[in-house]
Chains A and B, each alone.
Chain A
Amino acid sequence: MRDEFVTAGHIEEAAGTSPVLDRVGGLRRFTPARVGLRMAGTSLATSEILDFQLAHARARDAVYAALQPAHLMADLRTLDWPVDGSPRFLLRSQAKDRRTYLQRPDLGRRLDETSRIVLENFSTAEGAWIFDLSIVVADGLSALAVERNAGPLLAELLPLLAGVTPALRVAPTSILEQGRVAAGDEVAMALHASMVVVLIGERPGLSSPDSLGAYITWNPSSNTTDANRNCISNIRSEGLSYRDAAVRLLYYIREALRLKQTGVALKDPTDDLCEALLNTTGETLLAERGKL
């Protein structure tokens, strides 16, 4: 009966009990993906099922973990910020708790009233300020991602910004609870910043409960859609490295300044482009900016 089904019978023979199995297990050296799994028949062996269940349990726990905003702010303030960029605002979205956040993305995209007033008061008090960039750090779907990765990423990014775009005017950074990407648009509008970078916890994966995403949006407004954004994903120690992510972020920030747009019109940078960017001097960029 089995032999009638070429895939099942054949594959069991090839991978089930033969020496091939060990070699296939060796594939795991090359990828974090779940390759070369042990089998029972053509199904997964008990140990593999249990490993999977544990990972799922951890990811579920990560979704419901709460951000510690004050702690994160203290942490981020220890970095070497450019003038005025240092974290200053603790903000909340209109989603009051995790369950609301999960079912009402519309509320996660809006700042609550207190937060709006905080930003408006700042803008009124310092009305002369116009910023090139506002940075927002939001829990998103994984507070763990933000706590582990936002600091190390910014530690790479800030010196690059200082070196390559020294004249960039960076608004005080915000930390946002129960926030979605679009809430960053509102922050940037309130601060009169022409671009926003949102660092946000991505939906936890089984092997990556702590993956950070970075969204770059030029001229954010209430009409901004996802097609107007660029995204860098999988920023974490086992994924895209902090250094590589920071260089890409720098690329998008520069391109946004130069072309006055973000989104599908900007293509992801190649390695060559990134390298060229790092060899660019601050002076050249300043000159370029003068033409804008």
Chain B
Amino acid sequence: MEYSHTLGSVRHSFASLSHLLACATPFRSGDALAGLAAASAEQRAAAQFALADVPLRRFLEEQVVPYEMDEVTRLIVDTHDAEAFATVASLTVGEFRDWLLSDDATAERIGSLSPGLTPEMVAAVSKLMRVQDLIQVASRVHVVTRFRTTVGLAGRLSTRLQPNHPADDATGIAASIVDGLLLGSGDAVIGINPVSDNPATVTHLLQMIEGVRERYSIPAQSCVLAHITTQIKAIEQGAPLDLLFQSIAGTEAANASFGINIALLQEGHEAAQALQRGGVCADGLVGSNVMYFETGQGSALSANAHRGTGGRGVDQQTLEARAYAVARHFDPMLVNTVVGFIGPEYLYDGKQIMRAALEDHFCGKLLGLPMGCDICYTNHAEADQDDMDALLTLLGAAGINYIMGVPGADDVMLNYQSTSFHDALYVRRILGLQPAPEFEAWLKGSGFARLSREMASNTGALDGMLERLLPA
């Protein structure tokens, strides 16, 4: 179907919904790379006018990626909750934005609407929103998940302790874990990106975290972010696996490039749930959210898997939102966009990274996901620590569930900059945020005191102490 908007004597027309969505997207380098960006600033504005007039119902009739060729589309369509959608069924995209900003849009109402929203609807409305809109609406939504900690409660900000080491050295990783714990990090997950993708490494590192956790009675969960098939093998070999990780994207073809599909995620989800390793959380509920997903704008394009209806490319922000449809199917504990990791060909500078992160957080929350963000950049992007400080503060205000905690913000394995333990302390302090309730109690209790005491004891004991943390 064609969409159009007339400005003066010029009629701007858009051949399809995906064409319209792409042209209405605030500029970013990835869409330009794909040849999808608006040809002029005026065309972008016209597209936004036209998009504002599109009925939300239209998104149920016209798919940006065909149902027949893509299992992500099938998941979106087949699991759509028409009853939940009924409350906004008569609205256009522009009216939906107005409603989201109104006092009618309470946390409860947005929460019950969520299963009725498709990723494309949410992506569309985000394209009409300014940064403050993305923050204000997202801040109303609290998506709470539990494993051994409760993440996502109002007034809380959690962190993933990311203690990576360039050679998977267990002692080196343990040193980073201890440093992070002493600085109050790790209540979302202690999650290692391994260099080596094999079950033995995964098992060894999980055992090491298990040892630390038990020694100091830490309410936290572990994860080693290998490929899902590797983690499933580790489970089969008896690894103490808490959260099961996988990178996901918004098209079947992009997921295939990651070596996954929905059936494989389902298999992994069942295997991880069967372990029943969740704990009793602060409110008495047993934690049962076991999946951890990472996403990021541009991943489909980078795999040349960004095409949809009519072979036409779909913009990277819309495809990112579609990845969230995959995620929400598995009630994940954690989902984060790794926003600046992908590089300048997709998000060129601090400004593009900032907007993308806020869009991702907004879209994820609206779709009912426990969104976190790896606030990050690479050394070939036009960005620096000042950009990350600004984004961290904005996401804190938007109510982000968790951020990363990387020693000194410098990941020495993945070679990029994220947020440090100290950055989390900064944002918790200026916004009055606390860690997860179970972890907060731990920081005040004997486990943390014991860790501090052991670290403060005689210097020579440090080697021995780290050794004791390692599995036999």
Contact = CB atoms under 8 A, between A and B. Distances in A.
B397 interface: no
B459 A35 contact: no
A52 B174 contact: no
Interface stretch (A86-94, A119-127, A232-240): A232-240
Interface string A110-137: 0000000000000000000000000000
B251 to A, nearest CB: 13
Interface in A10-33: 10-11, 14-15, 18-20, 22-24, 26-33
Contact of B230 (A33, A43, A48, A267): A267
A172 interface: no
Interface in B178-214: 178-179, 182-184, 195-201
A15 B174 contact: no
B428 A35 contact: no
A185 interface: no
A56 B198 contact: no
B179 A205 contact: no
Q: Which of B171, B230, B233, B429 has the most CB of A within 10 A?
A: B429
Given A32-B412, A52-B385, A105-B345, A7 B443 contact: yes
B426 interface: yes
Contact of B164 (A33, A106, A204): A33
Contacts of A42: 422, 425-426, 429
Contacts of A211: 166, 415
A26 to B, nearest CB: 5
A59 interface: yes
A8 B33 contact: no
Interface stretch (B53-61, B307-315, B357-365, B403-411): B403-411
A48 B407 CA distance: 12
Interface in A143-173: none
Contact of B380 (A35, A141, A238): A141
Interface stretch (B256-264, B272-280, B288-296, B324-332): B256-264
A103 B348 contact: yes
Contacts of B411: 205
Given A37-B408, A62-B379, A105-B302, A268 B196 contact: yes
A54 interface: no
A47 to B, nearest CB: 12
A108 to B, nearest CB: 9
Contacts of A55: 410
Contacts of A8: 425, 428-429
Q: Which of B182, B197, B443 has the most CB of A within 10 A?
A: B182
A30 B422 contact: no
A220 interface: no
Contacts of A84: none
Interface residues of B, number: 80
Contact of A35 (B175, B413, B434): B175
Given A30-B466, A35-B407, A234-B166, A20 B456 contact: yes
Contacts of B409: 34, 52
Contacts of A20: 182, 452, 455-456
B227 A264 contact: yes
Nearest to A213: B415
Contact of B456 (A19, A29, A206, A239): A19
A250 to B, nearest CB: 15
Contacts of B368: none
A221 interface: no
A80 interface: no
Given A7-B434, A102-B345, A202-B415, A30 B174 contact: yes
A31 B175 contact: yes
Contacts of A267: 197-199, 230, 233
A33 to B, nearest CB: 4
A8 B434 CA distance: 9
B202 to A, nearest CB: 10
A206 to B, nearest CB: 4
Given A6-B443, A36-B179, A227-B258, A60 B379 contact: yes
A24 B455 contact: yes
Nearest to A231: B197
A286 interface: no
Interface in B207-243: 227, 229-230, 233
Given A31-B169, A35-B179, A103-B345, A63 B379 contact: yes
Interface in B399-452: 406-417, 420, 422, 424-426, 428-429, 432, 434-435, 440, 443-444, 448, 452
Nearest to A49: B385
Contacts of B452: 14, 20
A260 interface: no
A4 to B, nearest CB: 8
List the 4 closest A-B pairs by CB distance, nearest first. A34-B408, A205-B415, A31-B172, A264-B259
5 contacts: A7-B424, A206-B379, A267-B198, A267-B199, A268-B198
